[in-house]
Structure 1
């Protein structure tokens, strides 16, 4: 059989549902008539091996019904015929790239010709395409006597290329499966160069050191680590590294992960390699305010994105702005770092998201250039789909009913964001109160929750409560199944009333904590907010954040300051906050050090700068100050220099300053207003101009 015939054959072996001629014709780019001829050839083969034939089912398509033992037998027969006989060009190219970059032994083309059983002219064409693909990454393919094929390029780029090629060739990484049945040809070839047992060891250490929960990024992080390890073992090293590893709780976990991995595998990479992998793993993190230098950019982009998508789709996301922003911001911080480092994350739900949430997806796609202006790199469809998931979750939350009559949990293996999306869908479409989204490792918690039903995205063995397996995104055909499930379990109906606004109660609890000598940290605030949500106590979250006029005092406003350079501008605008005890001197030094290291990223708009550093660099309490400059100062940002007005922000968490950020976004979009402010000679006039939009909102 030809390559194509084998591929069609495998489609039938692996499919549990009918395949149509039109579907196969589109996938393989051949006519229906040719497909019929291929199927006839396959049936002759099946008859010769005393197997069931592919049969036509009226109005549905064609189906090959096999027992599990017969599927295994066919896989064995095909493998015995030498799987390389049936590699198509894409599969050969994938194998060649992996061989050149990950093989422990020199690779010579004549060996690959023999292995694939192809002609020299076919191999020449394969290599032409390999060179073309790698050239897009800036990597040359050289043939050196006695050394074979060698890749020439930046080691960092080569590692990124391998990771990218693997993601493009394999839809989902199934290295945790005990059996190899059903693996694609690409997966089998990947495991030749990166053994499955190595991936499993990395995954086990990940669960021991970083998180025991299911995470949508887990497989990606494990794969990237495996590529790093493979290249290091080949002694393809990054000679020197300027990667900085922030001393944060998350990076301590990553350091522990890398240390444990090196100890388990008995390897001792140099410091430059350790710093590199920890830095790169940070790009898989859904970042926090204390772990990313881009946290201000992430928050500004999140606020702008929410406003833009609401404007385009006419969906009132402001109703769920607080919860949407928190998740979106944390994702955005990781996204900026990933895209800048050219790390591509695979989104297994991308096509489904496009199909069911196209209006949101395409709105975000239109906003993408604004993000790309920060990252200086292209934003992939996968990243756009991840952002869409956050908005889709809020759409369901906006529309959901306030009264629920079933209590349930969701068990999801696609990560927290996708699990929340399913939870919000259940709330919106049915009278279901989802108390928790759990991973498969947290099933013991179900006994401790007051729930009656379980909705899962994967098959589970759990006998204590009724379970229904559903897709992460509820399709029209799934609704009837869920409704029937609820009807079968109608004895679990409950009634919950949560109409009362509990914002005042929320304030009183915070006051009690303060009166008893406690501090309102980010964790306490978030825990209290989650507790109110879990107990159906509604909070008007828009009331919980101060406006710019509530934080910026007259003493924080400096007018027409004379500053010879950007360093003195930062030092000058920080003085009021130092005097008030909002920040320490170390915070001023950290702001200057960050600009020295990362460039003029604090210039966030035309003539506007926002000086800031991380909270742990010396912030005591929320504060903001502002200075206009008598003479504009050049910071080194070609697009937005010179700076005429500079703010200094001291943030203690991810949420309490969001209204302040919105005011700054208004300034970014209003160059005329900046000019009016910089021309002010007295503070009262400055305040009138600065707060005019806020005053309009309060009237």
Structure 2
């Protein structure tokens, strides 16, 4: 059981049930991966519980009523604190905690055998880990000293040690991919839960008492710093030499930060029954300003020098680029607040690392050079440390402004996606188009419904059908439903011909949950202040749609072994469609009228169902003959022709019946990926039993890297 699965189990214990969507959003994963986590939890719990511990119904996970933290501790499934022999650390977890263990011991040496015993691993494993631990410290310009007969120790003063301990805790927390608000359970393996909760309450009360608002990073950093301080005080004591860097910063603490630090130290001392040294007030006061904060009823707390430097920088960069930066008020506000926190970092002698630095420099290289050149002449270099990391963070704000300005003037091509039915292949095509291009897809519909649209407002029709089926004059492009590389080239060329940019949407591939992507799309669509009523309405519509729920089964749920028939003999395409419909007819998903409707549509509109070489996806509208969403597959003993010269003959016919797009999109997207996987195609070709294909589908579902909201 890994850290994420342990966290999932804790949440289920706390709440009794938890939706797969909430899990997926919390961990930035697909619901499919959450299902696999729950499968592994059940396997791990089975020897202890003796039955299925977690069940899933309508996309909600439910924990067996008899399972509690106490029952699991009593059964020795896990301890109140992590037992590494029962729940071993991952390699990355072990390296970070080993580094933490060494940094913590400021007086005595740590032996590698101690580390091995502490984390329940072999001595040889610790030897291998130490190579990575040394690399980690070297990257932070800290030396690990090794002395024969004594062990390992860190060559660092208390200030440096505090900084590295805080960094290690944050990195350890981020291994579980928790990027939301502070959650005490994220740090439960390092500090007692009740202490985490109490210190969080103290910091929250300090915000109210001093009338300031901390951002999430500051709030979390202060809590972890306080707990480290208390632990250091209890374990190490107060005999360390005063830190000159901190004392040099004492005069730089303004009244607001001094007040909040004093309040926090007083409350912490009362709660833990200790008296922290005076240095701690300075450490906490500096932490308030290292990330982001503001006075609750005021603008960001900055001085005139910062405001003038930011104004000068924006004007100087805009003079070089003529991009309209001076008109972007959000750029000014965000830059002023960022420079204020950067100035605090300089005062505290702390360095900032930007993990996106290389990507930013590659994407905005010219803009970065201008910012670097102008930062000195604008007086910015006197306020902050003008390192590449700090300047690349400033680049983030200018890059965001550039994107806002670009969106304000950009007109996305308005596109209609057309197929014979308005579902199935058209929805798959639309999904593929939105993955590859920045488009405004106005509608997805059947060919005969084109007459109902005001086509004078449409820039392009993209269809799986030829333009000859209708007499519209709007530009028309025929592509395959899977939108392969050749089709993408055709779309890009057509858009360019029509005068549109063909640059792909940079947000598509981001490591975001499905819900985050959907919300991001809504926010990007209404960026202007005057769009606020539309934005609110769109968000209401989105939330209402989410509340309605609806099943969205995986491909393996629909394409079970009873719906797969191998080596069927058919004389023509009509009989192959009938054969593909028989498994669904037998189990009641469709009536015979649905099969008739599919044959009628292919006869009228042509072989639109042949989606790639040798494969057809037979489908029609849900209006006739569909009782329940389902899918079937027949492998033909002898291929048949459908009239599609590029992809005939057809050897595999899938039949899709759907009650609506929300009930099949996950399965359809997975199918599109499956049909491009060589191992899966080989399995379909050589399987002797339907169960071989269903097992391959399940294996393939675990390997898909794109996030599908399943």
Q: TM-score, normalised by structure 2?
A: 0.42
- Structure number with greater Rg is 2
Q: Relative CO higher for 1 or 2, CA cutoff 8 Å, sep ≥ 6?
A: 2
Q: TM-score, normalised by structure 1?
A: 0.43
